[in-house]
Amino acid sequence: MSLPHQPNSSPRSWRYRAVRIFIVLAGCYLGIIVVLALFENSMLFHPTTAAGEWLDRPDSRIVDIDLRTTRGDKIHAWWWPKEGADGAVLYCHGNAGNLSHRVYAMADWRKQVNHSVLIFDYPGFGRSEGTPDESGCYAAADAAYEWLTATGRVPTDRVLLYGCSLGGGVAVDLAARVPHRALVLLSTFTSVADRAQELFPWLPARWVVRNRFDNLGKIQRCTRPVFIAHGDNDDVIPYAHGEKLAAVANEPKCFLPLGPFGHHEDVDARFFGRLKQFLSRSAAISR
């Protein structure tokens, strides 16, 4: 008489199953890392081309400027001069849309701070050629600064470098390398690596991202006045990022808490009022 069949439950069998499960899970984990790495640029940059959406110039004084970067990309910019201006703002916008979507913000800067404004698109945005990445953004900013100070003839000590969100990373990099009057940041992060790790704490995101935008490290090399503003309702870049940037920035500096202010809101008269006070005070200190 034969004995009933007993299932194989030996320790060796369980170890084999455990190894197989581990291999499958490890493969899935690595696969997620690879996918995120491959699509990093598309997650970080959300450009709108001119063909996708483009707003007409509301003022005939806005001039189209074509620039060429050291990488060979053709970059499009808008120059909105103002008669009797105290200086010029080099406007580094965020990671979505294009420069035509910021025309009302440009108008606020002209009115509130009495400055002309030069805004430029990154590669792949609006009418600019190329594809966006960190080095391409820096190259576009270099080309815009060169035009503003050479062709536009704005003295370097009258140039405000302004960056909002991702544009803050562009402005900080530029401010660490070129002369200017002051650096102004709104809703800006410490680094892409830091933010990626916060968003994906179960992945080695800090070590995987290629676009670094290391603002925390670079802002310490900025020797001109620094003005930073951030809201505590920002659901894209946490408020703590602005605090950390302000903590390591060199004097003279100012950190303006905006209270219940979100990431995509327009700044108001209080922001510009405090900024003008800071610029006036820091100018007096430098003299």
Condensed to tens digits (0 to 9), the pLDDT of residues 163-193 reads 999 999 999 999 999 999 999 999 999 999 9
φ/ψ of 49, rounded to 5, equals -75, 165
pLDDT at 37 over 70: no
Going by pLDDT thresholds of 50, 70 and 90, the confidence category of residue 286 is: low
φ/ψ of 222, rounded to 5, equals -85, 120
Nearest CA-CA partner of 67 in 134, 145, 133: 145
pLDDT at 151 over 80: yes
pLDDT at 18 over 80: no
pLDDT at 1 over 80: no
- The DSSP symbol for 250 reads P
- Average pLDDT in the 191-198 region? 96
- Average pLDDT in the 46-73 region? 96
pLDDT at 9: 54
Name the percent of the chain lying above pLDDT 70: 88
Element (H, E) at 266: none
Distances (CA, A) of 147 to 121, 150, 187, 224, 225: 14, 5, 27, 21, 23
Question: Domain 12-286 maps to which CATH number in 3.30.420.40, 3.30.465.10, 3.40.470.10, 3.40.50.1820?
Answer: 3.40.50.1820
Distances (CA, A) of 249 to 91, 185, 228: 20, 12, 10
CB neighbours (10 Å) of residue 201? 8
pLDDT at 22: 64
Going by pLDDT thresholds of 50, 70 and 90, the confidence category of residue 278 is: very high
pLDDT at 16 over 90: no
pLDDT at 275 over 60: yes
Q: Write the single-letter amino acid at 140.
A: A
Residue 265's SS3 state is coil
Going by pLDDT thresholds of 50, 70 and 90, the confidence category of residue 13 is: confident
Going by pLDDT thresholds of 50, 70 and 90, the confidence category of residue 28 is: low
pLDDT at 23: 72
